[in-house]
């Protein structure tokens, strides 16, 4: 590949992440929100790299002796694709674990629960640049397994199954907003009937790009349920519940990294 196809800044780092080889660890916890990355990094034993550019934030350090990065991408599959591809140029054997937020589509999923993705519907256009429509975006089984183990160990209520990734938060997720058209008003009900557990905006990008890459990438993730689109229940009804939900998500992600690191070392 010509170097010009990977834009770099004046410091020679990849343009969007402002990172280069050595700046990211092989285990990367990701999310859309830079504020969540800051909260993850507060759990690190030490921080070695901190880079921020536009909506992208990367903090690399050490957690319980494990080299670990936390990376914020901003919202959406297009931002996610940029971040993942540049991160993979920095560390080609990487594991991406998304710690996101979502809305639930099944009545038995409560706000504060976690949804661990097994497979993601690609209801967005970004991944079509990398894989044909029939490609299944599946979580790496090792990543899914350690997230389940971590959630069970920590007593976090969780559900495993099908996620729908969209490119839009409003009409794309079946929300009616004054002044704008809603082309599919029954979308939430259609997805519920199809067995979809949750709606979010990044997971399919991680699973698809990791799945088609020639690099040995693994990807998976869990999302904290902020609201239930069927019942109307929401963590926003209680600031305490909202804070506890995000804390639980981060704790499960960090524990999953510990479990996966131990298993990887055993296999090696």
Helices and strands (DSSP H and E) totals, the chain: 6, 10
- Burial (CB < 10 A; 0-12, 13-18, 19+), residue 7, is exposed
For position 268, what pLDDT does the model report? 83
Report residue 213: phi and psi, to 5°: -70, 145
Domain 13-267 is classified in which CATH homologous superfamily?
Nucleoside phosphorylase domain (3.40.50.1580)
For position 3, what pLDDT does the model report? 58
| Residues 32-48, mean pLDDT to the nearest whole number | 98
34 token code pair? 């830079």
| Residues 132-155, mean pLDDT to the nearest whole number | 98
Chain segment 86-116, per-residue pLDDT in tens: 999 999 999 999 999 999 999 999 999 999 9
- Burial (CB < 10 A; 0-12, 13-18, 19+), residue 155, is exposed
Percentage of the chain modeled with pLDDT above 70? 99
Rounded-to-integer distance, Cα 131 and Cα 137, Å: 10
Chain segment 199-248, per-residue pLDDT in tens: 999 999 999 999 999 999 999 999 999 999 999 999 998 989 999 999 99
69-84 burial, b at 16+ Cβ within 10 Å, e below that, comes to bbbbbbbbbbbbbbbb
pLDDT band of residue 1 (cuts 50, 70, 90) is very low
Residues 6+ apart with CB under 8 A from 35: none
Indicate the domain borders of the chain: 13-267
């Amino acid at each position: 590949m010509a170097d010009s196809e990977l834009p770099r800044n004046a410091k020679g780092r990849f343009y969007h992440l402002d990172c280069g080889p050595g700046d990211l660890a092989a285990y990367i916890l990701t999310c859309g929100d830079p504020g969540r990355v800051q909260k993850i990094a507060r759990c690190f034993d030490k921080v070695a790299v901190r880079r921020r550019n536009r909506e992208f934030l990367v903090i690399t350090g050490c957690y319980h002796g494990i080299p670990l990065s936390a990376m914020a991408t901003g919202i959406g599959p297009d931002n996610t694709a940029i971040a993942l591809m540049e991160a993979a140029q920095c560390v080609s054997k990487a594991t991406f674990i998304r710690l996101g937020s979502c809305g639930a589509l099944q009545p038995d999923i409560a706000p504060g629960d976690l949804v661990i993705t097994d497979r993601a519907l690609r209801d967005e256009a970004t991944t079509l640049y990398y894989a044909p429509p029939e490609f299944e975006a599946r979580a790496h089984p090792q990543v899914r397994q350690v997230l389940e183990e971590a959630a069970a160990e920590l007593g976090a209520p969780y559900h495993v199954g099908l996620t729908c990734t969209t490119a839009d938060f409003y009409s794309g997720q079946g929300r009616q907003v004054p002044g704008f058209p809603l082309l599919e008003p029954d979308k939430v009900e259609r997805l519920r009937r199809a067995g979809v557990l949750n709606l979010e905006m990044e997971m399919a990008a991680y699973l698809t790009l990791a799945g088609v890459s020639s690099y040995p990438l693994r990807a998976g993730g869990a999302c904290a349920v902020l609201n239930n689109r069927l019942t109307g229940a929401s963590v926003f009804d209680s600031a305490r519940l909202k804070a506890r939900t995000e804390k639980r998500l981060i704790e499960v992600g960090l524990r999953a990294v510990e479990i996966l690191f131990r298993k990887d070392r055993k296999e090696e």
